[in-house]
Amino acid sequence: MTQVSQISSDKYCTLENEPYMSDGQLAYFKDKLMQRKDELRNRISKSIKKIKTLEAAQADLLDRSNAYMDLTLEVKSFERHSDMIEQVDYALARIDDGSFGYCELTGDEIGLRRLEAVPFATMSIKALEA
């Protein structure tokens, strides 16, 4: 009987002698990335709704200033989440082309712990430090 890698909702648990970026690991990270993408889409949707409801035509100067600041924060949030979706899409493409989990600069393994924390990471800690 073959043992299958265990996937918990919190993190991936490797089996003894399981190769790096096995089918189970790739499936786990693909699912994790898809969940992150859905979460980001929801946040973007909320930002868009909030941007549409912010009123810039306030009579009071202080109220206008506060509305402008709120609008600026929501636009930055929208941009940040949009950029993250691009990173997630790039990670999903890397899963498809077989380069996911490996540093773009050195070709070394990024590592499961780092990918668990940042599933769209493209560089190893070693490469980042250099």
CA dist., res. 117 & res. 114, Å (int): 5
Which of 87, 119, 126 lies closest to 11, judged by CA?
A: 119
Provide the Cα torsion 3, 4, 8, 9; round to 10°.
Answer: -170
pLDDT attached to residue 68: 85
Q: What is the pLDDT of residues 75-130, one digit of tens each?
A: 999 999 999 999 999 999 999 999 999 999 999 999 999 999 999 999 998 888 87
SS3 6: strand
Q: Is the predicted pLDDT of residue 28 greater than 80, yes or no? A: yes
